[in-house]
Structures are given as C-alpha cells and as structure tokens.
Amino acid sequence: MDFHDTPEEAAFRAEAIRFLERHAVRRAEHAEEIVSFFEDEGTESEQLDWVKSCREWQHTKYESGYAAIAWPTEWGGRGGSLIEELIFAEEEQRFEVERGAFLISLGMIAPTIMAYGTPEQRAHVSRILSGDEVWCQLFSEPSAGSDLAGMQTKASFESGGWVITGQKVWTSGAHYSDWGYLLARSNAKVPKHAGLTAFVLPMNTPGVTIRPLRQMTGGSSFNEVFFDDVRLPDTSRLGDPGAGWRVALTTLMNERVSVGGNTTGYRSWGGLLHLARRTGRDDDPIVRQRLADIHIMLQVLRFNGYRALTAISKGESPGPEGSISKLAFVRVTQAMGSLLMDLSGAAGTLVCDESQWFLGGPGVRIGGGTDEVMRNIIGERVLGLPPEPKPTPAHQ
C-alpha cells in the first residue's frame, strides 16, 4: 500500500496546516517533553482549565469544518474522506492543542447516539461536535467489570418514567461532564444480557452523586457515581427496553478503537528519545532495541486504525480490529512506562510524567476490556479459533 499523498491529499494537508498554524502553536520539531499519561489530572482548577481549553479547541475546529472531517454533513461533519480525517489528525499532533476531554464523547458516545437515538437525542451529536457538551460513560460497577452484563444498577419503570438506583465506578471525567450515558438492569427475570436498558441523563440530575477516586498516580481522573432514586422520563431511554446490551456493544466496539487510537504515545516519542540521549543510554544496544520495538508498536497502532476508521466512516460498527488496537496500545504503554522508568533512575520515583506512564499502565490493561477479553475476541473472530469453554452450571 502506498501511503504517500496524492496531489489532492497533499492539497488538503497544506490546507489543514494553514488552519492549524493560524489557530494553534506548533510543537518543536523534536519535542523533548513527555506528555502526561492522564492529561485531565491535576488540581480541580487545573482540570477545569484543561476542559475549557478542550472545549475551545473543539469549537474552533467545528466552526471551521475540521471537527469531524469524514462524518456526513447531516451529522455536522465535513463529508470528506477518511484519508483526510487521518491527515488532519496526523498534523494536529504537531501542535499544542487540548482535545482529550472529547475522547469519550466523540469516540464512543456520539456513534452510539447516531445509531440508536431518537431525533431529539440525536441533536446532542452536534452539541458534542461543537464542544458545548462533554459526556461520560456510566458502565462499570464494583462487581461488574469484565462481566459487564452482570451489573446490578436497577432501572424500574414507574408512572411512565424510570427510577434509577445503584452505583457506577471508574467513570472517566464524570466530575466535569455535562451528560452521562448509563446502562442499567431493567429486568432481573430474564438472562442477564437481555435485561439491560440504556439511558442518557444530565449529570446534575437530582439524586446523582459524583465522588472522584484518588489513584496511585496522584490524580483523580476516575470517579464513582451513585444513583439514589434518580427519576428519568421515558424520553431518556436510548434504544428499546431490554435492548441495552446491543446498544452497549456499539459503544464497546468504538471504545476499543478510541483507546487504541490514543495519540499520547506518538506525542511522547520525541521525549523518550531525548531522555535516552540525555542519560547517555542511546548507544546501549538493549535500549536501542527497546526503542525500536516501541516505534514498531506505534506504527502498528497507526495503520491498524485505518481499518477501524474505514468502518466508522461508513456508518458501521468497527469489528475485531478494535481489539487488536486496544491490545497494541496496552503493550506500547507498558513498554514505554518501563523504559521511561529505567532511563529515569531514582528520579522516576517522583510524581512526574515519566512515573505516570509506569503507574498508569496496569489500568490500561483493564479499561475498555481486559487483555484476556481482547485476546479471546481476536482468537475467535480473527483467527477462527474455538470459543473459550463455558463453565458448567453447578446444578448439572
């Protein structure tokens, strides 16, 4: 495959660069900083400033037609090609811009609302695209992580509306989100996958309590969220009653692509090379091999994302390639974290961007689906291997 620009692609790249140079500051050609693994961490004031910057940049792109280049125009996109979307993303990485607050909103929730939302709910898509709304995903529970369908948060239909009771945990960005996308159990008498229903709700709804969780990285980007008799109208339901698992699968497929498409590794690559040189380890053959391995994994992430983005641009749900991207992101994250700590020496014991890469790595193996779940999906749906044996019920 030839990845060189055609004349038309080169013209679009030049156009994108002109836009970026008008509205943003270019990073140094060989940036020497390590980008924070958790970009939304810091003090409460710093987090709010970061979200504000993300909103402003998202709105700037929206006003100029660069917020969703490959999306159809009816969804607020540009109606451009997938390769144009990739070209813009590649150039955007070279500039000092903040966008991480919309990773979940644009990468996971907007495609789900497009697929299952009512006309009124679909109006949220343009507000996400313009930077007016930040969303969070309310899935995981204390006893329902990899076994997501085992969740216990309850949705009861009463007097034409719904009453939500329960708890979610590890909710990224709940403390600064305007809206939430919730999955809850609406029927306990049917098989667990058949008894779920999805909802959308404002995060300031009475009965919703958000408590940030302090992590070993020193930050608090995750939260636990409590629902105490939260009342929602039936218009808050996303999809049919009991169809929540089908709705959630659309989100999960997009989530794995979105996690795998995280650009923090690319942006920290120059800093990693600089650290190796500054510590005099760039001539160490083992360090050089580890650097080469990381570079290769970053390229695997980049090119595997093409297939997934092709599906999304056609209005389809991404397939098992999302699991490949997610697993590759886990591997490169842990490889970078380990090498950064080895190169940093004693300084790596301090709370810094290098240590965040190392401390944040284990969490990436869980969020968006564990390594084991990803390998099962790849084995069964890509390699055609027999499915993992199911446990025999105790009564048989």
Residue 241, both tokens: 């009653």
Q: Of the residues 224, 255, 321, 354, which is catalytic?
A: 255
- Name, of 135-149, 264-278, 382-396, the range with top average pLDDT: 135-149
Q: Which CATH number belongs to the domain containing residue 338 in this structure? A: 1.20.140.10
* 75 part of a folded domain: yes
**Enclosing domain of residue 190:** 135-242
242, pLDDT greater than 90: yes
Cα(3)–Cα(106) distance, integer angstroms = 26
Q: Are residues 258 and 350 in the same domain?
A: yes
Lowest mean pLDDT among 118-127, 143-152, 199-208, 345-354: 345-354
* 9 part of a folded domain: no
* 215 part of a folded domain: yes
The secondary structure of residue 379, as a DSSP letter, is I
Q: Are residues 344 and 309 in the same domain?
A: yes
Contact 325, 261 (CB under 8 A): yes
Q: Are residues 271 and 375 in the same domain?
A: yes
Q: Are residues 115 and 193 in the same domain?
A: no
Confidence of residue 110 (pLDDT cuts 50, 70, 90): very high
Percent of the chain with pLDDT over 90: 42
CA dihedral 388, 255, 115, 315 (to 10 degrees): -90
Q: Which CATH number belongs to the domain containing residue 38 in this structure? A: 1.10.540
The secondary structure of residue 34, as a DSSP letter, is P
219, pLDDT greater than 90: no
What residue type is assigned to position 187 of the chain? N
Q: Are residues 140 and 266 in the same domain?
A: no
What residue type is assigned to position 244 of the chain? G
300 to 64, 304, 332: CA distances (angstroms): 31, 6, 10
Q: Which residues contact 73 (CB under 8 A, 6 or more apart)?
A: 79
The secondary structure of residue 378, as a DSSP letter, is I
Mean pLDDT of 111-115: 93
Mean pLDDT of 4-29: 88
Q: Tell me, what's the pLDDT at 267?
A: 67
Q: Are residues 80 and 169 in the same domain?
A: no
CA dihedral 319, 321, 322, 326 (to 10 degrees): 160
Closest CA to 172 of 371, 379, 360, 383: 360
User: Can you tell me which residue has the tokens 């995981």?
Assistant: 140
Q: Are residues 313 and 347 in the same domain?
A: yes
30, pLDDT greater than 80: no
Closest CA to 368 of 263, 220, 251, 267: 251
* 391 part of a folded domain: no
| pTM for the structure as a whole | 0.79
Number of domains in the chain: 3
Lowest mean pLDDT among 89-103, 174-188, 291-305: 291-305
Q: Which CATH number belongs to the domain containing residue 167 in this structure? A: 2.40.110.10
Lowest mean pLDDT among 154-158, 236-240, 374-378: 374-378
Q: Are residues 367 and 257 in the same domain?
A: yes
Which pLDDT tens digit goes with each residue over 114-150?
999 999 999 999 999 999 999 999 999 998 877 888 9
2, pLDDT greater than 50: no
Cα(362)–Cα(75) distance, integer angstroms = 36
* 351 part of a folded domain: yes
Mean pLDDT of 76-92: 84
Q: How many CB atoms lie within 10 A of CB 3?
A: 10
108, pLDDT greater than 60: yes
CA dihedral sign, ordered 177, 178, 181, 187: positive
* 17 part of a folded domain: no
Long-range contact list for 96-99, CB < 8 A, 24+ apart? Answer: 96/24, 96/25, 96/26, 96/27, 97/24, 97/57, 98/39, 98/50, 98/53, 98/54, 98/57, 99/54, 99/57, 99/58
Q: Tell me, what's the pLDDT at 347?
A: 76
* 5 part of a folded domain: no
Which pLDDT tens digit goes with each residue over 280-292?
898 999 999 999 9
End of a domain among 75, 95, 129? 129
319, pLDDT greater than 70: no
Q: Are residues 238 and 125 in the same domain?
A: no
Residue 255 bears catalytic tag: yes
Q: Are residues 183 and 77 in the same domain?
A: no
The secondary structure of residue 235, as a DSSP letter, is G
Pairing of strands 135-138, 179-185: parallel
Confidence of residue 318 (pLDDT cuts 50, 70, 90): low
Which pLDDT tens digit goes with each residue over 49-75?
999 999 999 999 999 999 989 888 888
Q: Tell me, what's the pLDDT at 346?
A: 80
End of a domain among 100, 129, 158? 129
Q: Are residues 258 and 335 in the same domain?
A: yes
Lowest mean pLDDT among 27-36, 248-257, 341-350: 27-36
End of a domain among 187, 208, 242? 242
Q: Are residues 176 and 146 in the same domain?
A: yes
* 11 part of a folded domain: no
Q: Tell me, what's the pLDDT at 141?
A: 94
